[in-house]
Amino acid sequence: MIKISSLPADDTTCGWYHLSKGRQIKLPHTGHTHARWVVVGAGFTGLAAARQLALHFPDDQVVLLEAQEVGYGSSGRNAGFAIDLPHDIGAEDYIGDIGIARTTLKLNISGQSLLKDLVERYQIDCQMKHCGKYQAAVEPRGIAVLEAYRRGLDKLEQPYQMIEADELPEHIGTHFYRKALFTPGTSLVQPSALVKGLADHLPANVTLYEHTPITDVAYGAQTVLKHANGSITADKLVLTTNAFGMSFGFLKGRMLPVFTYASLTRVMTDEEQARLGGKPYWGVIPADPFGTTVRRTPDNRLLIRNSFSFNPDGRANRKFIDRFAARHRDAFTRRFPMLPNVPFEYTWGGALAMSRNHMGFFGELAPNVYGALCCNGLGVTRGTATGKLLADWLAGEHNELIDFVRKTPGPNANPPAPLMSLGLNMNLRWGQYRAGKES
Ligand SMILES: Cc1cc2nc3c(=O)[nH]c(=O)nc-3n(C[C@H](O)[C@H](O)[C@H](O)COP(=O)(O)OP(=O)(O)OC[C@H]3O[C@@H](n4cnc5c(N)ncnc54)[C@H](O)[C@@H]3O)c2cc1C
C-alpha cells in the first residue's frame, strides 16, 4: 500500500460555501465495497466524469469519493467565471496557433454548455448569468495586452467590444480602469451552489460518499483504496483530484499547488448600489494575470480575488488569508472609493494546480488508472469538459475533442524542489509587484 502523502484541508471561511443553500451531505463510506468504476475527487471534473460514466454504463455502479464536502473544495471557492475563450498567455496575441485556439474554444464551450443544460434541467439555483466578462486594464502594459488580445480575437473571429475609460462606469460603476475588452461568451456562477446542485442531481447509479479521504492506495489489476473506516476496490479508477494527483503518486514534480484568495462583501444597501452605479451584475478579470478579479454578484455583493501563495502540500495556511485580506481591502478601496463602509464578510483561499507549460493531464496514469488533472486555473469549464470526455473515451468514443486532449503533452517537469520553491515564490512576488495598479 502507498500512503497518500497529503490530504486536502481547505479553510472554513469560503463565502460561496456558507451563502449557498445547505444540503443533505452524503454519508462517508464504511466497510468494504467493490465497484467497476471509482472516481476520486468531487469537483467540477469528478462530477462530470462520474455523471458521464453512469450514463455510458447504466448497469454499473459508479462510486464517487470526496475527502471534504462537495462545494467546500476549490470547485466551490473560485471566482465563478465559466469562460469560453482560449487565452494562451505564452502567445503574443494570446491566441497563438489558430487550430489549437479553435479547438480549445470548442472544448470550453462544450463544458460551459453542459453546465448550462444541467442548471436548466435541474433548476439549480446558482445565480448563473450569461453576461460575458470584461478584461480591464489600468497600466500601459495591461492596455497593450488588451490590444494584442483584440488582434487575437479578430483572428479567431470572435465578437468583442473595446470600452474606453469614460464609458466604463456605465457598465461597472468604478472609474478605476482605463480600458476594457468585453467578450460576451462567459457565464458567471455562484460556484459552491452550482457544484452542490450538480452533486444532488447525479444519475441513480452514482453513489457519492463525502468526508471520505483516501489515505492509502494499492495499484494492480484492481486498485484498492483505503480510508479510516474501510476500503473500496475499483476495477477502474478515475482520479480527478487536481494537484492531489501527486499524493496518489502521479505527475510528481510536474504540478504546482498554488493558492489564490478571495473576499466577498456583505450585501450593499440600496443607497450604496445607487452610489456604485453600473449594471446589476458583472465580472472583470485583470489584463495582467497577477492583477485583481472583481465581480458584482446578482445578490449585490462585491468580490475581490488576487494574490497567490505556493503551498506545496496543497493545504490551506491561515497566515496567508490574514495577510491577503489586507491586500483585498486595498484593492477594493482603490476601485470603490464611493463605498468606504462596505466590509468584507468572508475571506478565503483555494488551490489551483498549475504547470510550468500550462498543460493539463488527460488519459491513462497506470494500468486501469485514469485521470483528468492539473486545471491551470480554468477548471469550471475545462474541468467539466475533460471530466466528461474522459468518461466518453473510457466508453470507447473517439472524436475531435478527445483526440485533442489526448495529444496534449501534459505538464512538464519542474526543477528540483528547493530551487523550484525559491524560484516560484520569487516569481509570484515579482508578478504581484509588477501588476502595479492592477493588483
Ligand atoms: C479563488 C479562486 C478563484 C478561481 N477562479 C476561477 C474562475 O473564475 N474560473 C475557473 O474556471 N477556475 C477558477 N479557479 C480554478 C478552479 O477552482 C479549479 O480549476 C477547479 O476547482 C478544478 O476543478 P477539479 O474538479 O479539477 O478539482 P478540485 O475542485 O480541486 O476537486 C478535487 C477534489 O478532490 C478531492 N480530493 C483530493 N484528495 C483526495 C483524497 N485523498 N480523497 C478523496 N478526495 C480527495 C478534494 O477535496 C477536491 O474536492 C479559481 C480557483 C480559486 C481558488
So where are the chain's domains?
Answer: 2-76+193-255+357-416, 129-188+256-354+422-438
Q: Residue 61: phi, psi to the nearest 5?
A: -85, 135
Cβ–Cβ < 8 Å for 308, 327: no
Report the DSSP beta bridge partners of residue 304. 263, 294
Cα–Cα dist 389/232, whole Å: 24
Distance 74 CA to ligand 1 centre (A): 3
59: its cell numbers: 448497469
Cα–Cα dist 278/266, whole Å: 18
Distance 93 CA to ligand 1 centre (A): 28
Cα–Cα dist 145/434, whole Å: 14
Report the b/e string of 155-184 with b at 16+ CB within 10 A. ebebebeebeeeebeebbbbebbbbbbbbe
Cβ–Cβ < 8 Å for 211, 73: no
Run of H or E including 191: helix 191-199
Q: Identify the pLDDT of residue 238.
A: 98
246: its cell numbers: 501527486
Q: Identify the pLDDT of residue 430.
A: 78
- Classify domain 129-188+256-354+422-438 by CATH architecture: 2-Layer Sandwich (3.30)
pTM surpassing 0.95? Answer: yes
Residue ranges lining ligand 1, Cβ < 6 Å: 4, 7-8, 40-46, 65-68, 73-75, 77-81, 213-214, 240-242, 244, 260, 262, 305, 350, 352, 375, 377-381, 383
**Helix pair 140-156, 98-121: axis angle to 10 deg:** 90
Nearest CA to ligand 1 atom 37: 241
- Name the residue among 205, 91, 204, 206 with its Cα closest to residue 153: 91
Q: How many CA atoms lie within 13 A of 361 on its CB side?
A: 31
Distance 167 CA to ligand 1 centre (A): 36
Distance 267 CA to ligand 1 centre (A): 26
Atom number in ligand 1 closest to CA 382: 11
Number of H helices, E strands in the chain: 11, 19
Q: Identify the pLDDT of residue 438.
A: 77
Q: Identify the pLDDT of residue 439.
A: 82
- Which of 133, 241, 310, 384 has most ligand 1 atoms within 8 Å of CB, for mutation? 241
Tell me the CATH number of domain 2-76+193-255+357-416, given options 3.50.50.60, 3.40.1260.10, 3.40.30.10, 3.40.50.720: 3.50.50.60
347: three-class secondary structure by DSSP: strand
Cβ–Cβ < 8 Å for 286, 279: no
Atom number in ligand 1 closest to CA 248: 41
In one-letter notation, the amino acid at residue 192 is S
Residue 209's alpha-carbon distances to 69, 113, 224, 390, in angstroms, are 9, 27, 16, 21
Report the DSSP beta bridge partners of residue 333. none
327: its cell numbers: 491586500
Residue 374's alpha-carbon distances to 82, 88, 336, 437, 438, in angstroms, are 17, 16, 34, 30, 26
Atom number in ligand 1 closest to CA 259: 53
Cell numbers 451531505: residue: 25
Distance 273 CA to ligand 1 centre (A): 32
Q: Identify the pLDDT of residue 437.
A: 80
Nearest CA to ligand 1 atom 18: 379
Atom number in ligand 1 closest to CA 215: 41
Q: Residue 176: phi, psi to the nearest 5?
A: -65, -35
Cα–Cα dist 207/398, whole Å: 27
Atom number in ligand 1 closest to CA 10: 47
What single-letter DSSP state applies at residue 28?
A: P
Nearest CA to ligand 1 atom 53: 350
Distance 193 CA to ligand 1 centre (A): 14
Q: Which residues of the chain have pLDDT under 50?
A: none
Distance 207 CA to ligand 1 centre (A): 20
Q: Identify the pLDDT of residue 145.
A: 93
